[in-house]
Every structure is written in structure tokens, then in C-alpha cells.
């Protein structure tokens, strides 16, 4: 599973490999967040994640994925 720190630092593998993308497809964004495509679609429809629609298909900016994770952090016990 991808961790918050990995998403924040553009890492996707435990070995520290880095992504250089600025935005991700639905499939990539869902994979990075560790959620299904229907869940990503629900989050988008509810406005919790805002994709860029500069082109025909939605792209999810890296900064938007980090913002979503930071704003929805679980409360510390």
C-alpha cells in the first residue's frame, strides 16, 4: 500500500523510486491513494477531490492528492 509520505514525496515504491508526473489519470490517482475507481468517482462527485478538466478526461494534480490527504488525516488517538 502507498503511504501518505510516499504520495507527498512522489514516491511509489519502497526503494524510493520517484514519479515525475504533475498530474495523474483516474487509474493512477486511485492507485496512489489506495482506493477503487468508484470511490475516487464518489470523492470527485462530492467535491472532496477536484480534478483538472483542462482536457477531455479528468487529470488529478499531484498537489490536489496531497491536499486531500492532508485535509482528511485521521485524528491521533
What is the spatial distance between Cα 41 and Cα 37, in angstroms, rounded to a whole number?
6
Region 5-32: mean pLDDT is 72
The pTM (predicted TM-score) of the whole model is 0.70
For residue 14, pLDDT beyond 60:
no
Q: For position 66, which CATH number holds?
A: 1.10.1660
pLDDT of amino acid 40:
97
For residue 12, pLDDT beyond 70:
no
| Within a domain: 53 | yes
| Within a domain: 47 | yes
| Within a domain: 48 | yes
Tally of domains in the chain: 1
Tens of pLDDT along 26-61? 999 999 999 999 999 999 999 999 999 888 889 999
| Within a domain: 76 | no
Residue 11: is it exposed, middle or buried by C-beta count within 10 angstroms (0-12/13-18/19+)? middle
| Within a domain: 60 | yes
Residue 35: is it exposed, middle or buried by C-beta count within 10 angstroms (0-12/13-18/19+)? middle
Q: Domain span at residue 32?
A: 4-71
Amino acid at each position: 500500500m502507498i503511504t501518505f509520505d510516499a504520495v507527498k514525496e512522489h514516491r511509489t515504491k519502497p526503494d524510493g523510486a520517484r514519479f515525475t508526473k504533475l498530474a495523474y489519470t483516474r487509474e493512477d490517482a486511485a492507485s496512489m491513494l489506495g482506493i477503487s475507481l468508484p470511490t475516487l468517482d464518489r470523492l470527485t462527485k462530492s467535491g472532496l477531490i477536484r480534478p483538472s478538466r483542462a482536457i477531455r478526461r479528468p487529470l488529478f494534480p499531484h498537489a490536489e492528492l496531497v491536499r486531500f490527504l492532508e485535509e482528511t488525516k485521521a485524528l491521533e488517538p
